[in-house]
A = this chain, B = another copy of it.
Amino acid sequence: MVPTPEAAVIPSVPSTDHAEAWTRLDAVVRRADSAAGPYGLSNAATRCRLLQAIAAELDAQADALQEAARRELGTDSGTVMLERAAIRQQIDALCTVLQRHHWQHAAIETTPLRLCAQHVPLGPTAILGGGATPVHGAIGPDALAALAAGCPVIVHARHTHPMCHALAGQAVLRAVREAGLPDGVYALTPELPGSVDALVAHPDVRAAAAGNRSDALRLMRRSLDRAEPIPVLSEPGACNPVFILPGALNAQAEHLGQRLVRQFAAAPAAHRPALVFALGGDGYVDLRETIIDAVNALAPVVMPEGTHGHAQRTDWLLSAPRVTLLAEGAQPGARGLARPMFAETDDTHLPAPPLLDDACRSPAGLLVRCSSGQAMLDAAARLGRQHAAVIHMTAGDGFDDLALATKLLSRLQRIAGQIGINSTVAPPAWHVAGASFAIERFLRPVVYQDAPPILLPAALQDDNPLHLLRAVDGEMRH
């Protein structure tokens, strides 16, 4: 059975008819595979046109999406608007990267061998298990970056909000057609028993991305059972640790504490600063009091991805040894809202990454009292990968915190995608540097040797038809 184009974007209620479901999944993947060749060869202008059309089509559906999100997830009026704004910002950053032409890493070597090289898309990419929010569930940061890189995407939709998915998915498919690209460039497949495993096991799927740690680990294990494992991209943890160094702590504990809790309540889950390290002492006492007061005054926090598991995660956190409740915000009175909380522990009782990362998916913060600068460094070394980390330090002439900050930076470089100093970290997908790295994850390098001009990809042809900046024997040249 060959599905109609629409069949691929309307998630159905989980069916018990497995055979038909697999046939449909297989057809979806095969269409993506057929599209991978031509789409992989599309130029930057075409991909930008697609991405901008996606933003426009989603904007056109704003009201319908808002209404569907309210009915299916109970989200308030701002959620879809914020998601669309985030998508728009990410698309602008991705297009800037594509237009700059460094992302293809085109290189030509003339001696001793005639070689040329570029990065090419990985191929059909499954986007799984993340993006439970209204719009991102159908087209999130990973899907957009994969499309920018030239990979067809197959988004595996959760069954929690089929109306949102259908609206957003059809908007994306319209954009694909407007850009003159084959339908196989984008598909949304419904969640069915075993469908995640089936998708990752499909030989034509060449990469996968998961929105959270436990899904990613499951996909990685499943990928190792393939004849040939594929890259599985996983989101880093979202604890986004904040380190308040002694100089900064003593100078402005109260100010920093208030700012922190404001960000904690307002930031999207992936960018919520939920782990705070500070040295014990007078400044710490002030910081602690400020956090308690501010958290007590917090309204319930919107969880557009649903509050499922929130209570369990906070229970787990509080049942860890020497982790105690510090403060809680107001009880939520409606769906989609969670009661924010902050706990406290000391550096020797910092929970391990899986538990911590899990807790940080909820608005559950943890203040960590460190016994010394070295203890803070050791704690930093035990953290898993993180979206972002922030160091607060004195920035005066004396640079009191400089020695510790330097050591900390060296540690944090190994785990954090983005490091801010005395700043609020901007979501990486929204700026050009972050967008460039997001695209890179969906590319792989290929070297061509002795290829006749007629077989060379456009990026590497002698007359440089794409007007790329290319590394010719190491010299950057147009």
**Chain A interface residues (CB < 8 Å from chain B):** 37, 40-41, 96, 100, 102, 107, 109, 112-113, 115-117, 120, 122-123, 203-204, 206, 217, 220-221, 224, 227-229, 234, 352-354, 381-382, 384-385, 395, 399, 402, 405-407, 409-410, 413-414, 416-423, 425-426, 428, 431-434, 436-437, 440, 445-452, 454-455, 469, 471, 474, 476
Contacts and interface: CB of A to CB of B under 8 A. Distances in A.
Nearest to A37: B410
Nearest to A352: B227
A115 B384 contact: no
A97 to B, nearest CB: 8
B220 A229 contact: yes
Chain B CB within 10 Å, residue with most, of A107, A122, A410, A445: A445
A433 B421 contact: no
Contact of A113 (B40, B204, B409, B431): B431
B418 A474 contact: no
A433 B447 contact: yes
Nearest to A119: B437
Given A421-B449, A449-B426, A476-B476, A109 B416 contact: no
B446 A413 contact: yes
B115 A433 contact: yes
A359 B446 CA distance: 25
B448 A419 contact: yes
A79 B60 CA distance: 67
Contacts of A407: 37
Contact of A206 (B414, B419, B432): B414
Contacts of A100: 471, 474
A129 B334 CA distance: 56
Contacts of A413: 40, 120, 446
A117 B420 CA distance: 12
Contact of A418 (B229, B402, B433, B449): B449
Nearest to A410: B37
A334 B221 CA distance: 43
B440 A445 contact: yes
B474 A446 contact: no
A221 B413 CA distance: 25
Chain B CB within 10 Å, residue with most, of A384, A448, A469: A448
Contacts of A220: 220, 224, 229
Contact of A107 (B107, B115, B353, B436): B436
Contact of A406 (B217, B353, B455, B476): B455
A133 to B, nearest CB: 24
Chain B CB within 10 Å, residue with most, of A41, A203, A428: A428
Nearest to A217: B224
A423 to B, nearest CB: 4
B436 A450 contact: no
14 contacts: A37-B407, A40-B413, A100-B471, A117-B433, A122-B414, A220-B220, A419-B446, A420-B448, A420-B449, A420-B451, A421-B450, A423-B449, A440-B445, A476-B476
B446 A417 contact: yes
A432 B109 contact: yes
Nearest to A409: B455
Given A41-B410, A395-B452, A421-B449, 8 more contacts: A102-B471, A107-B433, A109-B431, A402-B455, A409-B455, A418-B449, A421-B448, A421-B455
Contacts of A41: 410
